Structure 1
């Protein structure tokens, strides 16, 4: 069993109810660690999502408490993903600095990766796009990483990202009267 209980960090209404698999790897692999650095703190990454959703939270929390709570809790769930990824990167022999790999040319994370937006409707649409982009990156890495433990963890993280799409679409319907690329 993993030495960290990730379940205590879950936000029940903001993540999939299924448990996270044990965080372990078949063997150290620096190439896999490099791939995961992009999910960790690259252009499309957990760190970008956390920062973007926190920015949206800071803008909305006093205007709409429920919407602020959504952004806050989804960002906390993304922090859990980032923690899990950092643990995998270390187990693979990597160093989880706040940088990407291929998407950033190994440069450190940059605030330009965030979509700041002009209004809540555009922000929510961008947040949905960010979740879809993250899912695509995870699926690509599942195909490239031949480690059943890492694949299971990435598949589990995708389940949370799908919940976030549903939640953001619900907020978009409530605040803007539409949905955008709703997940099945």
Structure 2
């Protein structure tokens, strides 16, 4: 089986320019796979981000073409993250179904209620920034819990893209709403 070229899916200014590490693991580890399920399709996850950003894109593209393109392309970058996580989960011996790790015991799969829909552009952009900060915090926590340096490198690289998204969303918030997102301390 040939390796997937993740670089070809990068979306220019919508992701960090550094390369993605090769998806590999020290060995099968179902515990690590379950931890990654939350990043993959939990409440704060790539699947939630993709769904939320696409919903916002459907509204934003009517308001401003560039703003619509921002949400569309960030969603595409998040799709790449989801693919990388799915491949990592599989290499760890897991099954990347659309659910978080906490859902496994309760057969409770991903839900559209995880999305912040909203109808106010400024509140939607703030929710998008907040989602990126929450994703970074979750990735950092999972880096701490996962003792596989290959998986840690993958998560650290994804964080770089999430920081780019915060910057881009913050610029849009300033441009369209005339305000800044309060920094999280």
Tell whether the structures are fold-level matches, with TM greater than 0.5.
Answer: yes
Q: Report the Cα offset of residue 60 of structure 1.
A: 1.4
Cα-to-partner distance string for 1:108-153 (whole Å, 9 max, x where unaligned): 1100000001201000000000000000000000000000000000
Cα-to-partner distance string for 1:16-57 (whole Å, 9 max, x where unaligned): 000000100000000000000000000000000000000000
| Contact in 2 for aligned 1:57/1:72 (Cα 8 Å) | yes
Matched, 1:109 2:115: no
TM-score by length of 1: 0.95
Following the alignment from structure 1 to structure 2, what is the Cα–Cα distance between the partners of residues 132 and 106? 28
Q: Which residue of structure 2 aligns with residue 96 of structure 1?
A: 96
Following the alignment from structure 2 to structure 1, what is the Cα–Cα distance between the partners of residues 49 and 130? 11
- Partner of 1:62, secondary structure, is helix
Bigger Cα displacement from structure 2, 94-103 vs 168-177: 94-103
Matched, 1:141 2:167: no
Residues 132 and 106 (structure 1 numbering): CA distance in 2 closer, same or farther, change over 3 Å?
farther
Report 1:73-92 matches (<5 A): 73-92=73-92
Following the alignment from structure 1 to structure 2, what is the Cα–Cα distance between the partners of residues 149 and 116? 35
Structure 1 segments, 4+ long, off by >3 Å, are: 103-106
Q: Which residue of structure 2 aligns with residue 176 of structure 1?
A: 177
Q: Report the Cα offset of residue 62 of structure 1.
A: 2.2
TM-score by length of 2: 0.95
Aligned length: 182
Q: Which residue of structure 2 aligns with residue 164 of structure 1?
A: 165
| Contact in 1 for aligned 2:14/2:77 (Cα 8 Å) | yes
Q: Which residue of structure 2 aligns with residue 123 of structure 1?
A: 124
- Partner of 1:123, secondary structure, is helix
| Contact in 2 for aligned 1:101/1:107 (Cα 8 Å) | no
Residue segments in structure 1 that go unaligned for 5+ positions in a row: none
Following the alignment from structure 2 to structure 1, what is the Cα–Cα distance between the partners of residues 128 and 108? 24
Following the alignment from structure 1 to structure 2, what is the Cα–Cα distance between the partners of residues 80 and 74? 10
CA RMSD of aligned residues (A): 1.4
| Contact in 1 for aligned 2:103/2:109 (Cα 8 Å) | no
Q: Report the Cα offset of residue 106 of structure 1.
A: 5.1
